[in-house]
Every structure is written in structure tokens, then in C-alpha cells.
Amino acid sequence: MKKKLVIGYGISGRASAALLKARGCEVIAVDRKAGELKADVPVLLDTADLDWDEFDQVILSPGVPPSHPLVQKAREKGIEVIGEIELAFRLLENRCVGITGSNGKTTTTLLIAHVLNAAGKKAQAVGNVGAALAGAVLDVAPEEILVIELSSFQLETLTSRKLDAAVCLNITPNHLDRHPTMRAYAEAKARIGNCLKKTGRLFISSQVGKEFSDLFREKEVEIVQENVAAISPVEYTQLGKQNVEAAFSICTVLGVSEGEFASALKTFRKPPHRLEWVAIKGGVEYFNDSKATNIHAVMHAVALMKRPVILIAGGVHKGASYRPWIESFGGKVRKILAFGGAASQMKEELSSSLPVEVVATLAEAVALAEREAKGNECVLLSPGCSSYDQFTSFEQRGDTFKRLVTGD
């Protein structure tokens, strides 16, 4: 039997390797940080000279672009390249639902899993939410429903029709540092419709239907149920309209009643780093929205603030213009404190219309915000960028912000 090559040995890569080993396959992994990793399989640098005759399949981790030289080489050799989700799909018989979108995926995924469990239907949230689907394959119970958050990167390599239901929450500019155009990004998102079973149901938001209907022309789609505010109005507002509507649509397909959904909604807690209230100091409120890694997520966060905003933004630029902020922030954002790699571009694009001050680090931004904010204002960390210039993840960035604010 030939070997399997796993490209990228992070969460997905490790789970892929473990699943393949459990099925008796010999696995070799490559990673650009090979020398720093503890591993259960041989891990080589991704610049290693490989004997391609040894391999019959490549499993690509979502963080590695399909343009990677090893992927191109494998395809030239006629070797199949699939992703970790596709590997898991080929071995799964469980009911599965998929959630994608530019914003709100994780909250919606966790909400669906919470509602299903509360209604007595065993479920777990996996995928881009942080737990690899390939890892779940090893010990999932036959009756368990898998609620899978799917990023555009994961959808790029997904072909199996395994989803009983799916939803696309929204499509707004994101990951344009990896996808060559906005159209290519939207096409990747729309691929979720290709992963439905013949009897599967595909939901899209009215925004997706209005702006990208042509991408779903060959698919039978339903607009997510948009009149569910009466079910649980307080939670509907706190958790976000699109999250609740999408979760209700999916849960209904899986046999959850309106009453069960309303009851479960009241006990759900939003995950951290998503418009998370941190503290009030000197009358100034502080909010951690570190998960906001694209420009529209920031616009959404600012719109929900009840006070004038000192906005802390920055990190790694992802390719989209910040100019839509000018109209969106008018009269609401008093000042932007820009840090990290994207700071200079933010200043260049925005400073003619909005006050922008560039600082080097998040710590400097928080210190300046504390000096500048007035008692009727709020300080909002909503970066609009990925975290990888100064932090290992949006979680580390958000935790750092909270420590800087509280002193803990």
C-alpha cells in the first residue's frame, strides 16, 4: 500500500494523520515548522525533496493554499489531492449539517449544536470551529449529528455529498489575500451547495440571494426564516439576527420544535471574542470583538454600539479596502487607533475622512484609548484583520486586550 502525504501539521493535519493511521495507512507529513513540532508521524519540511512514487493521496490542511508547490507537483503526478473534511466525509455515515459565511459561522454552529443537544438530539460542533472533523470520525456515535463550520478554504477541496442541510449566512469581502478575486471567494462559499445529499436542503440569507443568486442558480435554495424574533426576542437581539434565523432554519429541518428552540436559545452563551463586554472604567465601556477579522464584521460591531466609539483596529491586511468604513462610521466612530501591519493602509485610505492615529502595538493602542476616551464613550477592539503579525490567533489577541484593560 502506498503512503499518504499530509500537507500542514496543525489541527486538521494532525487529525488527518491520526485517522489515516487508525485505518492502517502509512503517513508522512510536511510542515514549514517541522523542526518545532511534536508529532506521531514523520514530519518533514515542506521544502523537502519527496519521492512522489511513494504516495497515492495528498491530504491538504485548510491553512495551506492549493497554489503550494507541493500541491501543484502532486497534481502534475496525477496524485489525488483532497482536504481534511473530504477525507472525513468519505468515512462518515452520520447526519451532517454545514454552516458557512463571512461572519457569524462559529456562533451559528455552536448555537445549532446547543439547541440540538437541549432538544435531546445528540450533536457536536466540529470543523472550522476548532475541532477537526477527522478527529470526530474516530469516536462519533452513530446517532450523533455533526454540525460543521466550513470556511472557504475547506470548501475549496470538498466534493462529497454528505450534508443533510446547509446554510450560507452572508458573503462579504474576506480572505482576498488568498482568493484572487471577490468572485473566486464567493464561488468557494457557494460550493457548500454541491455538498448536499439529493434530499438535502440549502438555506441562504436574503443578502446572499440578492447579491450572488447566479452562483446558486443550479441549486434549489430557501431563504432563511426571517420572522423568528417573536420566538425569543431578547436572545434574538443579543445573539445576532442572522445567527438565530439560520439556526432556526437548520434545526427545524432536524426535527426541533419552535418551543424547544426558544427554550434552548435562553440557555446559550455566545463564545468569547465576539462583541464581548470586558469592563467599565471611568464610565468608559470596553468591548472585545477580536474575532472580527474582516471589514464588514467591524461595521456590524460599530453599528451595535450604543455610545460613541474609539475603535482599535489592525493586524494583517487581508486584501479588501477599508473605505466602506467612511460612510458606515460617520457620526459614530470618533477616532481609529490603528496598529500592526495594516495600520499604514488604514491611515492612507481613511484619514481624509476619519481621525486615524497609528501605533505600533495593541498595548500602545489600549493605553492611548484609555487616555483619550471620555466617560460617555466605548473602546472597541474590532480589528478587521487577521492576527498573525503580532499574535498566534484571534483568541490570543482578544485575551491580551482583556488583560490590558483589566490588569489581570
CA distance 306 to 118: 32
Q: What is the DSSP letter of 192?
A: G
Domains within the chain, CATH numbers bracketed: 3-83 (3.40.50.720), 92-265 (3.40.1190.10), 276-406 (3.90.190.20)
| Other C-beta atoms lying within 10 Å of the C-beta of residue 38 | 7
Q: How far apart are CA 327 and CA 342, in angstroms?
A: 20
Question: 344: Cβ–Cβ under 8 A, 6 or more apart, which residues?
Answer: 338, 358
Position 365 scores a pLDDT of 98
Which residue has 466605548 as its cell numbers? Answer: 378
pTM higher than 0.75, yes or no? Answer: yes
pLDDT value, residue 17: 97
Please say whether the beta carbons of 401 and 366 come within 8 A.
yes
- Predicted confidence at residue 212, as pLDDT, reads 96
Spatial strand order in the sheet of 284-288 = 276-281, 284-288, 378-381, 309-314, 333-339, 356-358
Model pLDDT, residue 270: 87
Instruction: Inform me whether the pLDDT recorded for 73 exceeds 90.
Output: yes
For residue range 131-142, list pLDDT tens digits in order: 999 999 999 999
Name the 3-class secondary structure at 49.
Answer: coil
pLDDT of 1 above 80: no
Sheet holding 43-44, edge to edge: 43-44, 27-30, 3-7, 55-60, 80-83
Amino acid at 292: A
8: alpha, beta or left? (left if phi > 0; alpha if psi -120 to 50):
left
Could you report the per-residue pLDDT of 305-325, keeping only the tens digit for each? 999 999 999 999 999 999 999
Bridge partners of 356, per DSSP, are 336
CB atoms within 10 A of CB 138: 13
How big is the chain by its Cα radius of gyration, in Å? 22
Closest CA to 109 of 120, 93, 123, 91: 123
Q: Helix (H, G, I), strand (E, B), or coil: what is residue 210?
A: helix
Q: What angle do CA 90, 94, 98 make, to 5 degrees?
A: 80
Over residues 375-383, the mean pLDDT reads 96
Task: Determine the average pLDDT of the residues in 338-359.
Answer: 97
Whether residue 347 contacts residue 358, with contact meaning beta carbons closer than 8 Å, is answered with yes
| Mean pLDDT over each residue of the chain, to the nearest integer | 95
* Amino acid, res. 339: F
pLDDT per residue as tens digits for the range 140-195: 999 999 999 999 999 999 999 999 999 999 999 888 888 899 999 999 999 999 99
Residue 203 above 90 pLDDT? yes
Q: What is the model's pLDDT at position 232?
A: 87
User: How high is the pLDDT of residue 234?
Assistant: 83
Closest CA to 127 of 164, 89, 168: 89
End-to-end CA distance of the chain: 54
Q: Which of 247-261, 264-278, 360-374 has the lowest mean pLDDT?
A: 264-278
pLDDT digits (tens, 9 = 90+) for 269-303: 988 999 999 999 999 999 999 999 999 999 989 99
Q: 30-39, pLDDT tens digit by residue?
A: 999 898 888 8
Q: How many CB atoms lie within 10 A of CB 367?
A: 14
Beta strand residue intervals within 205-305, DSSP E:
221-223, 276-281, 284-288
Three-class secondary structure of residue 183 per DSSP: helix
pLDDT at 408: 80
How far CA 350 is from CA of 41, 340, 355, 379, 400, in Å, comes to 49, 16, 8, 19, 26
* Residue type for position 32: R
With CA atoms as reference, report the closest residue to 328 among 287, 300, 356, 362. Answer: 300
Interval 38-59 mean pLDDT: 94
Nearest to 41 by CA among 56, 66, 54, 22: 22
Element (H, E) at 327: helix 324-329
Degrees, nearest 5: CA angle 54-59-60: 125
Sheet architecture: strand order including 96-100: 123-127, 145-149, 96-100, 163-168, 196-204, 221-223
| pLDDT tens readout for residues 209-228 | 999 999 998 889 999 999 89
Task: Identify the helix (H) or strand (E) that includes residue 251.
Answer: helix 241-253
